[in-house]
Structure 1
Amino acid sequence: MSEGKNVVVGRMDGKVVLVAGAGSSGPGWGNGKAAAVLYAREGARVLAADRSLKAADETRDIIRGEGGTCEAFAADVSRSADCAAMVAACVAAYGRLDVLHNNVGIAETGGPVEASEESWNRVIAVNQTSVFLTCKHALPVLLGGGGGAIVNIASVAAIRWIGFPYLAYSASKAAIVAMTQNMAVQYAPDRIRVNCVLPGLMDTPMIREPLTANYGGDVETMIATRNAQVPTGRMGDGWDTAHAALFLASDEARYITGAQLVVDGGFTLRAA
Protein backbone atom coordinates (compact mmCIF):
# COMPACT_ATOMS: atom_id res chain seq x y z
CA MET A 1 0.00 0.00 0.00
CA SER A 2 1.35 3.43 -0.93
CA GLU A 3 1.55 4.91 2.54
CA GLY A 4 -2.19 4.89 3.04
CA LYS A 5 -3.11 7.51 0.43
CA ASN A 6 -6.72 7.29 -0.71
CA VAL A 7 -9.21 9.19 -2.83
CA VAL A 8 -11.71 10.12 -0.12
CA VAL A 9 -10.93 13.44 1.53
CA GLY A 10 -12.40 15.51 4.30
CA ARG A 11 -13.93 12.74 6.39
CA MET A 12 -12.51 14.33 9.54
CA ASP A 13 -12.89 18.00 8.61
CA GLY A 14 -13.37 20.13 11.72
CA LYS A 15 -12.47 17.30 14.09
CA VAL A 16 -9.75 17.28 16.73
CA VAL A 17 -8.12 13.91 17.25
CA LEU A 18 -5.81 12.88 20.08
CA VAL A 19 -3.71 9.86 19.14
CA ALA A 20 -2.05 8.18 22.13
CA GLY A 21 0.85 6.15 20.81
CA ALA A 22 1.31 8.21 17.65
CA GLY A 23 4.99 7.42 17.28
CA SER A 24 6.62 4.32 15.88
CA SER A 25 8.91 1.96 17.79
CA GLY A 26 11.25 1.72 14.81
CA PRO A 27 11.66 2.68 11.15
CA GLY A 28 8.49 2.35 9.13
CA TRP A 29 4.78 2.73 9.79
CA GLY A 30 3.32 1.55 13.06
CA ASN A 31 -0.43 1.53 13.67
CA GLY A 32 -0.46 4.78 15.64
CA LYS A 33 1.83 6.72 13.33
CA ALA A 34 -0.23 5.69 10.30
CA ALA A 35 -3.48 6.56 12.06
CA ALA A 36 -2.29 10.03 13.07
CA VAL A 37 -1.16 10.81 9.53
CA LEU A 38 -4.37 9.43 8.01
CA TYR A 39 -6.59 11.45 10.37
CA ALA A 40 -4.67 14.58 9.35
CA ARG A 41 -4.96 13.77 5.65
CA GLU A 42 -8.71 13.56 6.15
CA GLY A 43 -8.82 17.06 7.65
CA ALA A 44 -8.38 16.51 11.39
CA ARG A 45 -6.25 18.61 13.68
CA VAL A 46 -4.10 16.10 15.54
CA LEU A 47 -2.31 15.91 18.85
CA ALA A 48 0.33 13.21 18.40
CA ALA A 49 1.25 11.87 21.83
CA ASP A 50 3.90 9.29 22.55
CA ARG A 51 6.18 8.28 25.40
CA SER A 52 9.05 9.21 23.07
CA LEU A 53 8.91 12.88 22.16
CA LYS A 54 11.30 12.17 19.29
CA ALA A 55 8.81 9.68 17.83
CA ALA A 56 5.90 12.09 18.32
CA ASP A 57 7.92 14.87 16.68
CA GLU A 58 8.59 12.65 13.67
CA THR A 59 4.87 12.05 13.18
CA ARG A 60 4.15 15.75 13.66
CA ASP A 61 6.75 16.69 11.06
CA ILE A 62 5.27 14.27 8.51
CA ILE A 63 1.80 15.74 9.03
CA ARG A 64 3.01 19.32 8.83
CA GLY A 65 5.11 18.47 5.78
CA GLU A 66 1.91 17.39 4.03
CA GLY A 67 0.19 20.63 4.97
CA GLY A 68 -1.73 19.23 7.96
CA THR A 69 -2.09 20.48 11.51
CA CYS A 70 -0.41 18.63 14.36
CA GLU A 71 1.18 19.20 17.74
CA ALA A 72 3.46 16.70 19.46
CA PHE A 73 3.32 15.80 23.13
CA ALA A 74 5.34 13.45 25.37
CA ALA A 75 3.26 11.31 27.72
CA ASP A 76 3.54 8.02 29.55
CA VAL A 77 -0.10 7.01 29.41
CA SER A 78 0.32 4.45 32.17
CA ARG A 79 0.47 7.52 34.47
CA SER A 80 -2.66 9.44 35.34
CA ALA A 81 -0.91 12.79 35.59
CA ASP A 82 0.55 12.39 32.10
CA CYS A 83 -2.87 11.53 30.68
CA ALA A 84 -4.42 14.58 32.30
CA ALA A 85 -1.65 16.79 30.93
CA MET A 86 -2.01 15.24 27.47
CA VAL A 87 -5.74 15.97 27.29
CA ALA A 88 -5.20 19.47 28.67
CA ALA A 89 -2.55 20.11 26.01
CA CYS A 90 -4.98 19.05 23.29
CA VAL A 91 -7.67 21.40 24.57
CA ALA A 92 -5.14 24.21 24.96
CA ALA A 93 -3.95 23.76 21.38
CA TYR A 94 -7.31 23.33 19.66
CA GLY A 95 -10.03 24.27 22.12
CA ARG A 96 -11.81 20.93 21.98
CA LEU A 97 -11.52 17.16 21.55
CA ASP A 98 -13.65 15.03 19.25
CA VAL A 99 -11.84 11.71 18.97
CA LEU A 100 -9.59 9.80 21.34
CA HIS A 101 -7.54 7.10 19.61
CA ASN A 102 -5.83 4.66 22.00
CA ASN A 103 -2.99 2.88 20.27
CA VAL A 104 -0.39 2.37 23.01
CA GLY A 105 0.73 -1.22 23.45
CA ILE A 106 3.70 -3.45 24.12
CA ALA A 107 4.15 -7.17 23.43
CA GLU A 108 5.88 -9.55 25.82
CA THR A 109 5.58 -13.29 25.47
CA GLY A 110 5.28 -16.07 28.05
CA GLY A 111 2.67 -18.04 29.91
CA PRO A 112 1.95 -17.82 33.64
CA VAL A 113 5.06 -19.85 34.52
CA GLU A 114 7.51 -18.27 32.08
CA ALA A 115 6.47 -14.63 32.41
CA SER A 116 7.74 -12.70 35.40
CA GLU A 117 5.43 -10.73 37.65
CA GLU A 118 7.27 -7.62 36.50
CA SER A 119 6.49 -8.44 32.86
CA TRP A 120 2.83 -9.09 33.66
CA ASN A 121 2.48 -5.81 35.57
CA ARG A 122 4.28 -3.85 32.86
CA VAL A 123 2.09 -5.16 30.02
CA ILE A 124 -1.14 -4.64 31.97
CA ALA A 125 -0.11 -1.10 32.92
CA VAL A 126 0.89 -0.06 29.41
CA ASN A 127 -1.81 -1.85 27.41
CA GLN A 128 -4.82 -1.91 29.71
CA THR A 129 -4.51 0.66 32.48
CA SER A 130 -3.53 3.28 29.92
CA VAL A 131 -6.94 2.98 28.24
CA PHE A 132 -8.66 3.41 31.59
CA LEU A 133 -6.59 6.52 32.33
CA THR A 134 -6.86 8.20 28.93
CA CYS A 135 -10.63 7.67 28.94
CA LYS A 136 -10.89 8.91 32.54
CA HIS A 137 -9.41 12.25 31.52
CA ALA A 138 -10.77 12.53 27.97
CA LEU A 139 -14.41 11.63 28.64
CA PRO A 140 -15.26 14.78 30.61
CA VAL A 141 -13.99 16.84 27.66
CA LEU A 142 -15.98 14.78 25.16
CA LEU A 143 -19.06 15.16 27.35
CA GLY A 144 -18.53 18.90 27.58
CA GLY A 145 -18.29 19.12 23.81
CA GLY A 146 -21.54 17.27 23.21
CA GLY A 147 -20.15 13.91 22.20
CA GLY A 148 -17.45 12.29 20.14
CA ALA A 149 -15.76 8.97 19.53
CA ILE A 150 -13.20 6.72 21.14
CA VAL A 151 -11.31 4.14 19.11
CA ASN A 152 -9.33 1.53 21.05
CA ILE A 153 -6.78 -0.68 19.33
CA ALA A 154 -7.04 -4.21 20.73
CA SER A 155 -5.86 -7.39 18.95
CA VAL A 156 -7.11 -10.74 17.70
CA ALA A 157 -5.00 -12.10 20.57
CA ALA A 158 -7.95 -10.99 22.70
CA ILE A 159 -10.14 -13.68 21.16
CA ARG A 160 -7.87 -16.55 20.12
CA TRP A 161 -4.50 -18.29 20.49
CA ILE A 162 -2.06 -16.91 17.91
CA GLY A 163 0.65 -19.53 18.00
CA PHE A 164 2.66 -19.09 21.20
CA PRO A 165 2.11 -18.11 24.86
CA TYR A 166 1.09 -14.48 25.00
CA LEU A 167 -0.75 -14.40 28.32
CA ALA A 168 -0.36 -10.81 29.54
CA TYR A 169 -0.76 -9.34 26.07
CA SER A 170 -3.86 -11.42 25.36
CA ALA A 171 -5.36 -10.61 28.77
CA SER A 172 -4.77 -6.89 28.33
CA LYS A 173 -6.29 -6.83 24.86
CA ALA A 174 -9.30 -8.88 25.98
CA ALA A 175 -9.80 -6.32 28.74
CA ILE A 176 -9.82 -3.54 26.15
CA VAL A 177 -12.63 -5.30 24.30
CA ALA A 178 -14.65 -5.53 27.54
CA MET A 179 -13.89 -1.94 28.48
CA THR A 180 -14.99 -0.80 25.03
CA GLN A 181 -18.34 -2.55 25.38
CA ASN A 182 -18.91 -1.18 28.86
CA MET A 183 -18.16 2.40 27.88
CA ALA A 184 -20.16 2.10 24.66
CA VAL A 185 -23.35 1.36 26.58
CA GLN A 186 -22.69 3.78 29.43
CA TYR A 187 -22.01 6.76 27.16
CA ALA A 188 -24.36 6.04 24.25
CA PRO A 189 -27.00 8.46 25.63
CA ASP A 190 -24.31 11.15 25.65
CA ARG A 191 -23.55 10.72 21.94
CA ILE A 192 -20.13 9.21 22.60
CA ARG A 193 -19.37 6.15 20.50
CA VAL A 194 -16.72 3.68 21.68
CA ASN A 195 -15.39 1.00 19.34
CA CYS A 196 -12.30 -1.15 18.99
CA VAL A 197 -10.17 -2.50 16.17
CA LEU A 198 -8.70 -5.99 16.47
CA PRO A 199 -5.66 -6.20 14.17
CA GLY A 200 -4.39 -9.66 13.27
CA LEU A 201 -0.84 -10.51 12.25
CA MET A 202 0.62 -7.16 11.25
CA ASP A 203 3.97 -6.25 9.74
CA THR A 204 4.85 -3.22 11.82
CA PRO A 205 8.05 -2.10 13.60
CA MET A 206 6.60 -3.37 16.90
CA ILE A 207 6.95 -7.05 15.94
CA ARG A 208 10.63 -6.99 15.02
CA GLU A 209 12.29 -7.05 18.43
CA PRO A 210 9.94 -8.79 20.89
CA LEU A 211 8.64 -11.55 18.61
CA THR A 212 11.63 -12.64 16.52
CA ALA A 213 12.84 -15.07 19.21
CA ASN A 214 9.64 -17.08 18.79
CA TYR A 215 10.64 -17.79 15.18
CA GLY A 216 14.20 -18.97 15.77
CA GLY A 217 15.65 -15.48 15.97
CA ASP A 218 15.43 -14.80 12.25
CA VAL A 219 13.33 -11.88 10.99
CA GLU A 220 12.84 -13.25 7.48
CA THR A 221 11.66 -16.59 8.88
CA MET A 222 9.24 -14.76 11.14
CA ILE A 223 7.81 -12.73 8.26
CA ALA A 224 7.46 -15.76 5.99
CA THR A 225 5.83 -17.83 8.72
CA ARG A 226 3.36 -15.13 9.69
CA ASN A 227 2.47 -14.42 6.05
CA ALA A 228 1.74 -18.11 5.53
CA GLN A 229 -0.63 -18.14 8.52
CA VAL A 230 -2.93 -15.57 6.89
CA PRO A 231 -5.51 -16.80 4.34
CA THR A 232 -4.83 -13.75 2.13
CA GLY A 233 -1.15 -14.76 2.02
CA ARG A 234 0.28 -11.71 3.74
CA MET A 235 0.29 -9.85 6.99
CA GLY A 236 -1.48 -6.52 7.23
CA ASP A 237 0.28 -3.28 8.00
CA GLY A 238 -0.24 -0.08 9.94
CA TRP A 239 -2.37 1.41 7.18
CA ASP A 240 -4.86 -1.44 7.36
CA THR A 241 -5.38 -0.71 11.04
CA ALA A 242 -5.47 3.04 10.41
CA HIS A 243 -8.19 2.85 7.75
CA ALA A 244 -10.38 0.73 10.04
CA ALA A 245 -9.90 3.23 12.86
CA LEU A 246 -10.66 6.14 10.55
CA PHE A 247 -14.00 4.59 9.61
CA LEU A 248 -14.98 4.04 13.25
CA ALA A 249 -13.93 7.56 14.21
CA SER A 250 -15.75 9.20 11.31
CA ASP A 251 -19.40 10.18 11.05
CA GLU A 252 -19.83 7.31 8.57
CA ALA A 253 -19.94 5.07 11.65
CA ARG A 254 -22.45 7.25 13.48
CA TYR A 255 -24.72 4.26 14.27
CA ILE A 256 -21.90 1.94 15.34
CA THR A 257 -20.82 1.62 18.96
CA GLY A 258 -19.40 -1.24 21.01
CA ALA A 259 -18.16 -2.93 17.85
CA GLN A 260 -15.15 -5.21 17.47
CA LEU A 261 -13.79 -4.67 13.97
CA VAL A 262 -11.47 -7.57 13.13
CA VAL A 263 -8.77 -6.62 10.62
CA ASP A 264 -6.85 -9.83 10.02
CA GLY A 265 -7.04 -11.11 6.44
CA GLY A 266 -9.17 -14.02 7.62
CA PHE A 267 -6.65 -15.24 10.22
CA THR A 268 -9.19 -15.82 12.99
CA LEU A 269 -11.44 -17.85 10.67
CA ARG A 270 -8.95 -20.70 10.47
CA ALA A 271 -9.36 -23.58 12.92
CA ALA A 272 -5.60 -24.05 13.06
Structure 2
Amino acid sequence: MRATYEIGNGRAAAILLARHGAKVALVDINPEWAEETRRMIDEEGGISEVIQADVTIEESCKMAVKKTVELWGAVHILVNNVGVGGAIGDATVVNLGAWERDFRINVTSMVLMARYVIPEMRKGGRGSIVNLSSVSGLLGGNPSLIYPTTKGAIIQLTRTMAAQHGQENIRVNCVCPGMVYTPMVRGRGMTDEMRQARINQNLLKREGTGWDVGHAILFLSSKEASWITGLIMPVDGGTTAGKTDRPALNEDTFAASNTGVSN
Protein backbone atom coordinates (compact mmCIF):
# COMPACT_ATOMS: atom_id res chain seq x y z
CA MET A 1 0.00 0.00 0.00
CA ARG A 2 1.40 3.39 -0.96
CA ALA A 3 0.08 6.88 -0.24
CA THR A 4 -0.66 8.98 -3.32
CA TYR A 5 1.57 11.72 -1.97
CA GLU A 6 3.21 11.50 1.43
CA ILE A 7 3.37 15.00 2.85
CA GLY A 8 3.04 16.57 6.28
CA ASN A 9 0.10 18.74 7.28
CA GLY A 10 2.16 21.89 7.73
CA ARG A 11 4.05 21.53 4.48
CA ALA A 12 0.85 20.90 2.54
CA ALA A 13 -0.79 23.96 4.09
CA ALA A 14 2.23 26.16 3.29
CA ILE A 15 2.29 25.06 -0.35
CA LEU A 16 -1.46 25.57 -0.77
CA LEU A 17 -1.38 29.03 0.82
CA ALA A 18 1.51 30.01 -1.45
CA ARG A 19 -0.40 28.72 -4.49
CA HIS A 20 -3.21 31.11 -3.60
CA GLY A 21 -0.95 34.11 -3.36
CA ALA A 22 0.13 34.19 0.27
CA LYS A 23 3.68 35.12 1.17
CA VAL A 24 4.61 32.36 3.59
CA ALA A 25 7.02 32.59 6.51
CA LEU A 26 8.21 29.04 7.15
CA VAL A 27 8.95 29.08 10.88
CA ASP A 28 10.70 25.94 12.07
CA ILE A 29 13.27 24.91 14.63
CA ASN A 30 14.84 22.75 11.91
CA PRO A 31 15.74 24.99 8.96
CA GLU A 32 16.53 22.02 6.71
CA TRP A 33 12.91 20.85 6.83
CA ALA A 34 11.71 24.37 6.11
CA GLU A 35 14.17 24.77 3.22
CA GLU A 36 12.68 21.70 1.53
CA THR A 37 9.22 23.27 1.80
CA ARG A 38 10.62 26.50 0.40
CA ARG A 39 12.11 24.59 -2.53
CA MET A 40 8.73 23.05 -3.33
CA ILE A 41 7.06 26.46 -3.16
CA ASP A 42 9.76 27.99 -5.37
CA GLU A 43 9.18 25.32 -8.01
CA GLU A 44 5.59 26.53 -8.32
CA GLY A 45 6.52 30.21 -8.43
CA GLY A 46 5.35 30.96 -4.90
CA ILE A 47 6.92 33.27 -2.34
CA SER A 48 8.30 32.07 0.98
CA GLU A 49 11.14 32.61 3.42
CA VAL A 50 12.61 30.37 6.08
CA ILE A 51 12.78 31.72 9.63
CA GLN A 52 14.48 29.52 12.20
CA ALA A 53 12.80 29.79 15.58
CA ASP A 54 11.93 27.77 18.65
CA VAL A 55 8.25 28.48 19.29
CA THR A 56 8.51 27.30 22.90
CA ILE A 57 10.67 30.34 23.66
CA GLU A 58 8.90 33.70 23.85
CA GLU A 59 11.78 35.80 22.53
CA SER A 60 12.15 33.45 19.57
CA CYS A 61 8.45 33.87 18.71
CA LYS A 62 8.78 37.64 18.97
CA MET A 63 11.76 37.54 16.61
CA ALA A 64 9.94 35.34 14.08
CA VAL A 65 6.99 37.70 13.89
CA LYS A 66 9.27 40.75 13.68
CA LYS A 67 11.19 39.22 10.76
CA THR A 68 7.94 38.38 8.96
CA VAL A 69 6.75 41.97 9.28
CA GLU A 70 10.13 43.25 8.10
CA LEU A 71 9.85 41.03 5.03
CA TRP A 72 6.28 41.77 3.98
CA GLY A 73 4.94 44.56 6.15
CA ALA A 74 2.12 42.66 7.84
CA VAL A 75 0.82 39.33 9.13
CA HIS A 76 -2.70 38.30 8.16
CA ILE A 77 -2.64 34.54 8.78
CA LEU A 78 -1.13 32.42 11.54
CA VAL A 79 -1.16 28.62 11.28
CA ASN A 80 -0.15 27.05 14.58
CA ASN A 81 1.03 23.63 13.43
CA VAL A 82 3.37 22.22 16.04
CA GLY A 83 3.16 19.22 18.28
CA VAL A 84 4.69 16.03 19.61
CA GLY A 85 3.21 12.72 20.66
CA GLY A 86 4.87 13.26 23.98
CA ALA A 87 5.44 11.32 27.15
CA ILE A 88 3.81 7.92 27.51
CA GLY A 89 1.93 6.78 30.59
CA ASP A 90 -1.04 7.52 32.82
CA ALA A 91 -1.12 9.93 35.76
CA THR A 92 0.57 7.46 38.08
CA VAL A 93 3.71 7.05 36.00
CA VAL A 94 4.04 9.90 33.48
CA ASN A 95 7.27 11.86 33.85
CA LEU A 96 6.23 15.31 35.02
CA GLY A 97 9.25 17.02 33.52
CA ALA A 98 8.32 15.56 30.13
CA TRP A 99 4.69 16.50 30.76
CA GLU A 100 5.59 20.17 31.26
CA ARG A 101 7.90 20.14 28.22
CA ASP A 102 5.28 18.58 25.97
CA PHE A 103 2.52 20.91 27.17
CA ARG A 104 4.75 23.86 26.32
CA ILE A 105 5.42 22.47 22.84
CA ASN A 106 1.81 21.56 22.05
CA VAL A 107 -0.12 24.41 23.70
CA THR A 108 1.99 27.24 25.12
CA SER A 109 3.75 27.69 21.77
CA MET A 110 0.42 28.67 20.21
CA VAL A 111 -0.16 31.28 22.90
CA LEU A 112 3.33 32.68 22.41
CA MET A 113 2.95 33.03 18.64
CA ALA A 114 -0.50 34.57 19.02
CA ARG A 115 0.88 37.03 21.59
CA TYR A 116 3.01 38.69 18.91
CA VAL A 117 0.90 38.05 15.81
CA ILE A 118 -2.39 39.45 17.12
CA PRO A 119 -1.03 43.02 17.60
CA GLU A 120 0.08 42.96 13.95
CA MET A 121 -3.35 41.72 12.87
CA ARG A 122 -4.96 44.54 14.83
CA LYS A 123 -2.95 47.05 12.81
CA GLY A 124 -4.39 45.61 9.60
CA GLY A 125 -7.91 45.34 10.97
CA ARG A 126 -8.21 41.62 10.25
CA GLY A 127 -6.64 38.24 10.75
CA SER A 128 -7.10 34.50 10.68
CA ILE A 129 -5.55 32.06 13.15
CA VAL A 130 -5.82 28.33 12.55
CA ASN A 131 -4.76 26.04 15.38
CA LEU A 132 -4.00 22.37 14.71
CA SER A 133 -5.47 19.95 17.23
CA SER A 134 -6.45 16.32 16.65
CA VAL A 135 -9.42 14.00 16.85
CA SER A 136 -7.63 12.75 19.97
CA GLY A 137 -8.76 16.00 21.57
CA LEU A 138 -12.37 15.07 20.83
CA LEU A 139 -12.34 11.35 21.67
CA GLY A 140 -11.29 9.26 24.64
CA GLY A 141 -9.43 5.99 24.70
CA ASN A 142 -5.91 7.23 23.94
CA PRO A 143 -3.20 5.27 25.78
CA SER A 144 -1.26 8.49 26.33
CA LEU A 145 -2.38 11.09 28.86
CA ILE A 146 -0.44 14.14 27.64
CA TYR A 147 -1.34 13.97 23.94
CA PRO A 148 -5.16 14.02 24.12
CA THR A 149 -4.99 16.43 27.06
CA THR A 150 -3.00 18.98 25.08
CA LYS A 151 -5.12 18.49 21.97
CA GLY A 152 -8.27 19.07 24.01
CA ALA A 153 -6.70 22.18 25.50
CA ILE A 154 -6.10 23.53 21.98
CA ILE A 155 -9.80 23.17 21.22
CA GLN A 156 -10.77 25.23 24.26
CA LEU A 157 -7.95 27.68 23.53
CA THR A 158 -9.43 28.20 20.07
CA ARG A 159 -12.94 28.85 21.34
CA THR A 160 -11.72 31.29 23.98
CA MET A 161 -9.51 33.19 21.56
CA ALA A 162 -12.36 33.38 19.04
CA ALA A 163 -14.56 34.99 21.68
CA GLN A 164 -11.85 37.37 22.82
CA HIS A 165 -10.84 38.64 19.38
CA GLY A 166 -13.97 38.36 17.24
CA GLN A 167 -14.84 42.04 17.61
CA GLU A 168 -11.39 42.87 16.28
CA ASN A 169 -12.18 40.95 13.07
CA ILE A 170 -9.61 38.33 14.03
CA ARG A 171 -10.99 34.86 13.40
CA VAL A 172 -9.70 31.83 15.31
CA ASN A 173 -10.54 28.30 14.16
CA CYS A 174 -9.26 24.81 14.75
CA VAL A 175 -8.60 21.82 12.49
CA CYS A 176 -8.64 18.37 14.07
CA PRO A 177 -6.94 15.87 11.75
CA GLY A 178 -7.76 12.21 11.98
CA MET A 179 -5.18 9.50 11.40
CA VAL A 180 -3.82 10.79 8.10
CA TYR A 181 -0.74 9.20 6.56
CA THR A 182 2.24 11.55 6.73
CA PRO A 183 6.03 11.09 6.63
CA MET A 184 6.06 11.32 10.44
CA VAL A 185 3.60 8.45 10.69
CA ARG A 186 5.54 6.44 8.12
CA GLY A 187 8.73 7.04 10.09
CA ARG A 188 7.22 5.34 13.12
CA GLY A 189 7.31 2.07 11.21
CA MET A 190 3.61 1.62 10.49
CA THR A 191 2.88 -1.65 8.68
CA ASP A 192 0.34 -2.09 5.88
CA GLU A 193 -1.87 -4.01 8.31
CA MET A 194 -1.82 -1.14 10.79
CA ARG A 195 -2.62 1.34 8.05
CA GLN A 196 -5.56 -0.73 6.86
CA ALA A 197 -6.91 -0.96 10.40
CA ARG A 198 -6.82 2.84 10.64
CA ILE A 199 -8.64 3.16 7.33
CA ASN A 200 -11.35 0.82 8.55
CA GLN A 201 -12.10 3.19 11.42
CA ASN A 202 -13.43 5.99 9.19
CA LEU A 203 -16.73 6.19 7.34
CA LEU A 204 -15.23 6.84 3.91
CA LYS A 205 -12.95 3.79 4.09
CA ARG A 206 -10.02 5.57 2.51
CA GLU A 207 -6.81 7.05 3.81
CA GLY A 208 -6.42 10.75 4.40
CA THR A 209 -3.26 12.71 3.61
CA GLY A 210 -1.65 15.97 4.58
CA TRP A 211 -3.32 17.53 1.54
CA ASP A 212 -6.75 16.90 3.06
CA VAL A 213 -5.70 18.75 6.20
CA GLY A 214 -3.96 21.46 4.18
CA HIS A 215 -7.09 22.24 2.19
CA ALA A 216 -9.08 22.66 5.42
CA ILE A 217 -6.45 25.10 6.71
CA LEU A 218 -6.51 26.95 3.40
CA PHE A 219 -10.29 27.34 3.53
CA LEU A 220 -10.37 28.60 7.12
CA SER A 221 -7.58 31.07 6.28
CA SER A 222 -9.42 32.42 3.23
CA LYS A 223 -11.87 35.25 2.65
CA GLU A 224 -14.47 32.60 1.79
CA ALA A 225 -14.47 31.71 5.50
CA SER A 226 -14.80 35.34 6.62
CA TRP A 227 -17.94 34.61 8.71
CA ILE A 228 -16.51 31.55 10.43
CA THR A 229 -14.82 31.73 13.81
CA GLY A 230 -14.65 29.41 16.78
CA LEU A 231 -15.11 26.39 14.50
CA ILE A 232 -13.69 23.02 15.52
CA MET A 233 -13.36 21.14 12.21
CA PRO A 234 -12.59 17.42 12.21
CA VAL A 235 -10.83 16.28 9.05
CA ASP A 236 -11.05 12.58 9.70
CA GLY A 237 -13.10 10.74 7.09
CA GLY A 238 -16.02 10.72 9.52
CA THR A 239 -14.21 8.95 12.35
CA THR A 240 -15.77 11.21 14.97
CA ALA A 241 -19.23 11.08 13.34
CA GLY A 242 -20.00 7.47 14.23
CA LYS A 243 -19.51 3.86 13.33
CA THR A 244 -20.47 1.91 10.21
CA ASP A 245 -21.30 -1.38 11.94
CA ARG A 246 -25.05 -1.04 11.38
CA PRO A 247 -27.23 -2.65 8.67
CA ALA A 248 -27.91 -0.74 5.49
CA LEU A 249 -31.45 0.59 4.98
CA ASN A 250 -33.54 -1.46 2.57
CA GLU A 251 -36.17 0.05 0.28
CA ASP A 252 -39.07 -0.70 2.66
CA THR A 253 -37.29 0.95 5.56
CA PHE A 254 -36.40 3.97 3.42
CA ALA A 255 -40.01 4.38 2.26
CA ALA A 256 -41.30 4.11 5.80
CA SER A 257 -38.84 6.70 7.08
CA ASN A 258 -40.10 9.15 4.46
CA THR A 259 -43.84 8.49 4.87
CA GLY A 260 -44.05 7.86 8.57
CA VAL A 261 -45.72 4.48 7.83
CA SER A 262 -44.21 1.23 9.08
CA ASN A 263 -44.90 -2.26 7.81
The interval holding the TM-score normalised by the smaller chain is 0.7 to 0.9
Q: CA RMSD in A?
A: 1.8
In 1, Cα distance between equivalents of 2:19 and 2:108: 30
In 1, Cα distance between equivalents of 2:100 and 2:193: 30
Give the partner amino acid of 1:223. R
In 1, Cα distance between equivalents of 2:126 and 2:134: 26
Give the partner amino acid of 1:231. L
Q: Offset of 1:125 from its aligned partner?
A: 1.0
> Superposed, which structure 2 residues align to 1:68-217 within 5 Å?
68-108=46-86, 109-161=88-140, 163-209=141-187
2:237 corresponds to 1:258? no
Q: Offset of 1:188 from its aligned partner?
A: 0.9
Q: Offset of 1:146 from its aligned partner?
A: 1.1
Q: Offset of 1:150 from its aligned partner?
A: 0.4
Q: Deviations over 1:215-249 (max 9, x none)?
A: xxx53332122112222113311011110011110
Q: Offset of 1:205 from its aligned partner?
A: 1.9
Sequence identity percentage: 40
In 2, Cα distance between equivalents of 1:112 and 1:150: 32
Query: Residue 16 of structure 1 aligns with which residue?
Result: none
Moved more, 223-232 or 241-250: 223-232
Q: Offset of 1:185 from its aligned partner?
A: 1.1
Q: Deviations over 1:118-175 (max 9, x none)?
A: 33122211110111100011111111111111011111111102x5412111111111
Q: Rg: which structure is higher? A: 2
> Does the residue aligned with 2:240 lie in a helix, a strand or coil?
helix
Give TM-score, length-normalised by structure 2: 0.86
Label 1:101 to 1:227 Cα distance change in 2 as closer, same or farther (>3 A).
same
Give the partner amino acid of 1:252. E
Which residue, out of 168, 171, 196, partners 1:224?
Answer: 196
Give the partner amino acid of 1:44. A
Which residue, out of 190, 214, 229, partners 1:242?
Answer: 214
Label 1:164 to 1:179 Cα distance change in 2 as closer, same or farther (>3 A).
closer
Label 1:54 to 1:120 Cα distance change in 2 as closer, same or farther (>3 A).
same
Give the partner amino acid of 1:258. G
2:10 corresponds to 1:32? yes
Q: Offset of 1:207 from its aligned partner?
A: 2.3
Q: Offset of 1:35 from its aligned partner?
A: 0.3
Which residue, out of 45, 50, 67, partners 1:67?
Answer: 45
2:49 corresponds to 1:55? no
Give the partner amino acid of 2:50. A
Query: Residue 248 of structure 2 aligns with which residue?
Result: none
> Does the residue aligned with 1:49 lie in a helix, a strand or coil?
strand
> Does the residue aligned with 1:231 lie in a helix, a strand or coil?
coil
Runs of at least 5 residues in structure 1 that lack an aligned partner in the other structure: 4-27, 213-217
Q: Offset of 1:77 from its aligned partner?
A: 0.6
In 2, Cα distance between equivalents of 1:116 and 1:225: 30
Give TM-score, length-normalised by structure 1: 0.84
Moved more, 92-101 or 223-232: 223-232
Q: Offset of 1:115 from its aligned partner?
A: 2.8
Q: Is the 8 A contact 2:31 2:52 kept in 1?
A: yes
Q: Deviations over 1:17-66 (max 9, x none)?
A: xxxxxxxxxxx410000000000011111111111000011111111111
> Does the residue aligned with 1:150 lie in a helix, a strand or coil?
strand
Q: Deviations over 1:168-188 (max 9, x none)?
A: 111111111111111111111
Q: Is the 8 A contact 1:177 1:196 kept in 2?
A: yes
Runs of at least 5 residues in structure 2 that lack an aligned partner in the other structure: 246-263
Q: Is the 8 A contact 1:226 1:234 kept in 2?
A: no
Q: Is the 8 A contact 1:106 1:127 kept in 2?
A: yes
